[in-house]
Amino acid sequence: MLIDKIDLTILRHLERSGRWLSSLPAQLKMTDEDISIRIKKMEVEGVIAGYKATIFIPPFLGGDWVWGCALATAADREKTVSRVLQKIPFVSEIWLNSNLPSHLGHNFSIIFYSKDFDTEIKFIKEIPEISYLEAYRISNFAFPMARIFSSEEKLLLRTVFDYPTADAAKLGEICQKNVPWIQTKLDKLVWTPQNKDGVIMVLPEIQFKRIQNYSHCHFILEISGNKDLLFDEFKTLGFDIVLDGRPFQGRYIQLEADMWGFNDIIAKKTFLETYNEVKIQGIIFAEEMRVNADWSLKLLNS
């Protein structure tokens, strides 16, 4: 499938905020119908492989939580991801990558919630297939107590999990509630950047490899000289600094950027090579993003 920058904006919004469009139509100056047509096309073409509901755990269960990520390299990626999921109970997202060269950079990463981050990272490191792993704390959350839900709210949450693509009318039909009631409850229960007390999200599973004219890439660099000055210049040219410039494997800096076709990749590569202080050692291409949600159903049924 060929996409444009509007499609990418929609994908990024779905990835961050879930299926509820909220302020996106105003941001894009488009109607809900026009956005829905674009989303439907990406679904038909397999770029959006499906949707899954997942729980935002900190307010749901209460207590102190770390939201973290682990970047890992493994020869048998699928087998290793399966073992990670057996070790770590609250993995919400799995990202799969292709690396050039294959041994450099991480070929998968996980995003997960944890009450004992250091111990769980130790568990992952003990998985024999993993040849390299780095872990990072993204955010810390503290909620004094678990959120209390009425029986009707619990039913709505389970229904969203079972029917992640249902609209308010369909949810109301299943829950035997009118649409205004459903919408009012969703406004309170769905997590968005504007509603951080929400407890449920519906996220897309994205197949980046189905897009013909676009790739999200990380350039793996060795940099000498003043990094801060270089970073400022890179940002003005469309690069983002991964993990605030913390070196991967103790030596590599990662720059991420959206690449619109092969010529754009060559142009960005050529630009980076104009700096004597920069050596390109590899590149990472995003393949797909999976949503891991089985544990969410266990929470909803508890």
What one-character-per-residue DSSP string does 23-51 give? THHHHHT--HHHHHHHHHHHHHTTSEEEE
Look up residue 146 and give its two tokens. Answer: 């678990």
Q: Which two tokens stand for residue 74?
A: 């493994």
Q: Which two tokens stand for residue 93?
A: 């997202």
Element (DSSP H or E) covering residue 256: strand 253-259
pLDDT tens digits for 73-108? 998 999 999 999 998 999 999 999 999 887 888 999
For residue 21, what pLDDT band results from cuts at 50, 70 and 90?
low
Predicted TM-score (pTM) of this structure? 0.89
User: Which uninterrupted H or E stretch holds 97?
Assistant: strand 91-100
Residue 223 near residue 278, CB atoms below 8 Å: yes
180 pLDDT tier (thresholds 50, 70, 90): very high
SS (HEC) of 244-278? HHCCECCCEEEEEEEECCHHHHHHHHHHHCCCCCE
pLDDT in tens, 206-242: 999 999 999 999 999 999 878 888 998 888 888 999 8
Q: Of all helices (H) and strands (E), which one includes residue 225?
A: none
Cβ-count burial of 225 within 10 angstroms (0-12 exposed, 13-18 middle, 19+ buried)?
Answer: exposed
Q: What is the spatial distance between Cα 99 and Cα 285, in angstroms, rounded to a whole number? A: 6
Name the 3-class secondary structure at 67.
strand
22 pLDDT band, cuts 50/70/90, is: low
* Count of Cβ atoms closer than 10 Å to residue 297 Cβ: 15
Cβ–Cβ < 8 Å for 118, 137: no
